[in-house]
Structure 1
């Protein structure tokens, strides 16, 4: 909920907005009763912040050009211009509009100020008396600057014509989207009279002033945006179509309110609600409020910040307390668990202490024995799984071969046949790699002996021998083994042996001949002692 005070120089209007929805609007007359009601209203807010929007005829605008300076030098020049144009006013404001880079660098400023500050005095005194936080005092023409972009005019100069009260017509002039002047013109024909002619005549007067001040050229087309009610819409529409000097755009106030998605209960005759909504929804710099008027707003910000910090500290404290409670609970649980574990080990220790056997072995020797056993386990205790899987994978490439037995041992000699006795069987290594590896000593080797026979053997020993040779060559070329030997072939073809083979013939019940082609292959791989 946001609250705005709208002051027209005569009466004060208090509005409450919820986003784009107007919830309430209360009017206060500038008499004793109205001021008392205004004080009661402010008291009911309970120190909620408000914003004051001014729409005064006693507000003037001046454009000046000063040297491009910074710091105190710039402020001194601005103060001198304030004294020149607004000598008796404490409510004044300067805004930079653009930098001029022709010749020496200069800055274009818009100076604005109130020429009759006594109008605000009784209302500001009540705001101060009730300690109401005042966020700022805004100028309605400066707020209307945000609406210019929504008109999407292609012309450089735009005149926005609006009427917030029946007796005054406001014309605000914008050049390149920046406010350069705004004035309230008294008009008495709102309810009766030639209202349309009065409006057009005032616009033409504004054009002549702009040309005389060399703000625009005589041939420049001016875009005129008029916000009017239903009463004068048709007449202004017809009159503007007859004029070829200005680029008119007549907009119905209520249609524009719907376009802005502003929610109101009843239709409006005046456009003040549009600017009040704009001032509530958007953030504008403070134009006129001095420190004495804003002191309670600073107190409000400090109080709000303190509350936020307090909430953060409270939430942090609760979080830290929860963490501490959780840690305490875990600590108590761990203490209980450790006490039970301590009792268990004390009982075990006492039991072993009663059964202990005296020994004359020193603790150093015992330590060395344990370390030696650990080293043996880590280095020399091998699993046959990897070697068995590797050999099985290579044998499985040949579908005609059936493995009947796999024998795995771990030995320090490449030719060993027994893991314990290290018995050496004389074998003739095949290939240069096998002869080279057979000379290695004092190393650890995995030795696998594979025994099996050929499936569906029909007596073709030439094919059987070729198959065994293929197996031997495949395993040797794979470079996974240090030595591959064929200990037994289906037919012995060694030069120093007599020709032999399993030519036993057995007759089964069906009378078929069963022949066997048995083989034995020995595979050796060096163990990497650095890996477990």
Structure 2
């Protein structure tokens, strides 16, 4: 629920709004009894914030043009204009409307101020006395600026005519949707007299003033929006149709209230309720309230912020407490599980301790034995899979070769014949030197002997010897092995053998000759023991 105080210069009206619905409206006269009742009303609010809306004759508007400046220079020029137009007033406000870019850059300002600030004094003193948070003091013409767009006028200049009290008629002039002038005109014919003629005459006077000030041209069409009650609606409607100078739009106050979806109990004769609803529902900048008038509002904001922070802190504390409780519950569960696990291990330990065999071996020696066994398992218990796969992959590159036998041994000498033998095989001198023929001590070698023959051999020994040389070169260049040696070739070309070589000739059932080209290759690779 929002509360607004509406002041017309004589009577104070306190309204309570719930959205677009008016819940209550209380009037306070400017006498001793009315001020006492107003003080009691403010006390009953219990420091709830209020907003003050002014509709005063003693409010003036001035349009000025100043150089386009920023900071303190701009404020100094504005202060000089305040002193010029509102010398004795502390309630004044300046709003920038547009920037003029013809020639040098200039800024158009609307200056507004109260010429009789004593009217507010008794009411503001009670607001301060009751410590009521005052959010701001608003000007009704500035609030009405927000309604201009709803009239959807095509004309540049719009005059909004409204009546909030029986004795005064307000005319607010808007140019391109911006307020440039607003004045209250005394009118005595609201209840009896030629009310329609008085309204039209005042509008024509406003037009002449605008033309004389060169705000508009004489030929410009002015849109006139009149908010009136049921009593004067028909007469104003007929009168406006006879006028061809202005573009009139006569709106019934109660119809406009329904259009704005404002909920009221009874029909209205005046349009003040429209502007009060606008001031409650929408956010407007503070126009006249100074720091002394708003200090309790700042206290209210601080208190509200403290409460919100307290709620957030409380919620955070509850959240942290919940997390701590959950962690504590999980900790208790884990402690229980660890205790059960401890009991299990203690039981197993006791059982093993009862079954243990007494030994004279010290723990250090036992540790060394275990480490030695682990080292033997990891280092010296080799599998032939890796070496066999490596050799098979290299030989598979040559499709004409068929492997009949692979023999893998593990020895500590590069020239060993059998596994774990120190006997060195006698080798015949060869023209081609294999890699790394020197005897290696304290090392471990994998030795693979590959035996096979050539498929579909047709007796071309030159091709067979070339193929075996290619295999030897390929395996040597691959840098996978420490030694690659051909023990047997399809045609024995050693100096100690005859040229016929070792060629097997067999006769099949048909009497044809079957020739075979057999070979044997020996491959050696050092085992990486991983010992520094």
Give your verdict on TM over 0.5: yes
Report the more deviating stretch, 397-406 or 307-316.
397-406
Q: Distance in 2 between matches of 1:279 and 1:492?
A: 116
Report the more deviating stretch, 405-414 or 329-338.
405-414
Q: What's 1:506 paired with?
A: 506
Q: Give the CA RMSD over aligned residues.
A: 6.6
Q: Distance in 2 between matches of 1:193 and 1:383?
A: 124
Q: Would the alpha carbon gap of residues 116 and 479 (structure 1) be closer, same or farther in structure 2, given more than 3 Å must change?
A: same
C-alpha deviation, 1:122, in angstroms? 0.8
Report the more deviating stretch, 178-187 or 490-499.
490-499
Report the more deviating stretch, 353-362 or 255-264.
353-362
Cα pair 1:430 1:484 within 8 Å, conserved: no
Q: Distance in 1 between matches of 2:205 and 2:157?
A: 15
Q: Distance in 1 between matches of 2:203 and 2:340?
A: 97
Q: Distance in 2 between matches of 1:228 and 1:525?
A: 112
Cα pair 2:411 2:421 within 8 Å, conserved: no
Q: Would the alpha carbon gap of residues 345 and 14 (structure 1) be closer, same or farther in structure 2, given more than 3 Å must change?
A: same
Q: Would the alpha carbon gap of residues 328 and 106 (structure 1) be closer, same or farther in structure 2, given more than 3 Å must change?
A: same
Summarize deviations over 1:233-290 as a string: whole Å, max 9, x none. Answer: 1111111111111111111111111111111111111100000000000011110011
Report the more deviating stretch, 462-471 or 293-302.
462-471
Cα pair 1:161 1:171 within 8 Å, conserved: yes
C-alpha deviation, 1:329, in angstroms? 2.2
C-alpha deviation, 1:501, in angstroms? 39
C-alpha deviation, 1:347, in angstroms? 1.5
* Unmatched runs of 5 consecutive residues or more in structure 2: none
Cα pair 2:435 2:484 within 8 Å, conserved: no
Q: Distance in 2 between matches of 1:312 and 1:83?
A: 48
How many residue pairs get aligned? The number is 532
Structure number with greater Rg is 2
Report the more deviating stretch, 318-327 or 287-296.
318-327
Report the more deviating stretch, 308-317 or 387-396.
387-396
Summarize deviations over 1:389-432 as a string: whole Å, max 9, x none. Answer: 99999999999999999999999999999999999999999999
Q: What's 1:99 paired with?
A: 99
Report the more deviating stretch, 134-143 or 355-364.
355-364
Q: Distance in 1 between matches of 2:182 and 2:442?
A: 106
Q: What's 1:450 paired with?
A: 450
Q: Would the alpha carbon gap of residues 74 and 526 (structure 1) be closer, same or farther in structure 2, given more than 3 Å must change?
A: same
Q: What's 1:13 paired with?
A: 13
Cα pair 2:490 2:503 within 8 Å, conserved: no
C-alpha deviation, 1:69, in angstroms? 1.1
Q: Would the alpha carbon gap of residues 407 and 251 (structure 1) be closer, same or farther in structure 2, given more than 3 Å must change?
A: farther
Q: Would the alpha carbon gap of residues 328 and 57 (structure 1) be closer, same or farther in structure 2, given more than 3 Å must change?
A: same
Q: Distance in 2 between matches of 1:522 and 1:99?
A: 98
Q: Would the alpha carbon gap of residues 413 and 152 (structure 1) be closer, same or farther in structure 2, given more than 3 Å must change?
A: farther
Q: Distance in 2 between matches of 1:173 and 1:33?
A: 38
Report the more deviating stretch, 469-478 or 205-214.
469-478
Summarize deviations over 1:446-491 as a string: whole Å, max 9, x none. Answer: 9999999999999999999999999999999999999999999999
Q: Would the alpha carbon gap of residues 327 and 370 (structure 1) be closer, same or farther in structure 2, given more than 3 Å must change?
A: farther
Q: Would the alpha carbon gap of residues 249 and 498 (structure 1) be closer, same or farther in structure 2, given more than 3 Å must change?
A: farther
SS at structure 1 position matched to 2:436: helix
SS at structure 1 position matched to 2:432: helix
Q: Would the alpha carbon gap of residues 484 and 302 (structure 1) be closer, same or farther in structure 2, given more than 3 Å must change?
A: same
Report the more deviating stretch, 443-452 or 112-121.
443-452
Q: What's 2:377 paired with?
A: 377
Cα pair 1:379 1:531 within 8 Å, conserved: no
Q: Would the alpha carbon gap of residues 350 and 265 (structure 1) be closer, same or farther in structure 2, given more than 3 Å must change?
A: same
SS at structure 2 position matched to 1:485: strand
Cα pair 1:433 1:482 within 8 Å, conserved: no
Q: Would the alpha carbon gap of residues 285 and 468 (structure 1) be closer, same or farther in structure 2, given more than 3 Å must change?
A: farther
Summarize deviations over 1:195-218 as a string: whole Å, max 9, x none. Answer: 111111111100000000000111
* Unmatched runs of 5 consecutive residues or more in structure 1: none
Cα pair 2:60 2:113 within 8 Å, conserved: yes
SS at structure 2 position matched to 1:436: coil
Summarize deviations over 1:278-317 as a string: whole Å, max 9, x none. Answer: 0000011110011111111111111111111111111112
Report the more deviating stretch, 185-194 or 137-146.
185-194
Summarize deviations over 1:27-72 as a string: whole Å, max 9, x none. Answer: 0111111111111101110111000000001100000011111111
Structure 1 ranges of 4+ moved more than 2 A: 357-532
Q: Does 1:234 align with 2:245?
A: no
Q: Would the alpha carbon gap of residues 453 and 236 (structure 1) be closer, same or farther in structure 2, given more than 3 Å must change?
A: farther
C-alpha deviation, 1:358, in angstroms? 4.2
C-alpha deviation, 1:103, in angstroms? 1.0
C-alpha deviation, 1:325, in angstroms? 2.0
SS at structure 2 position matched to 1:17: strand
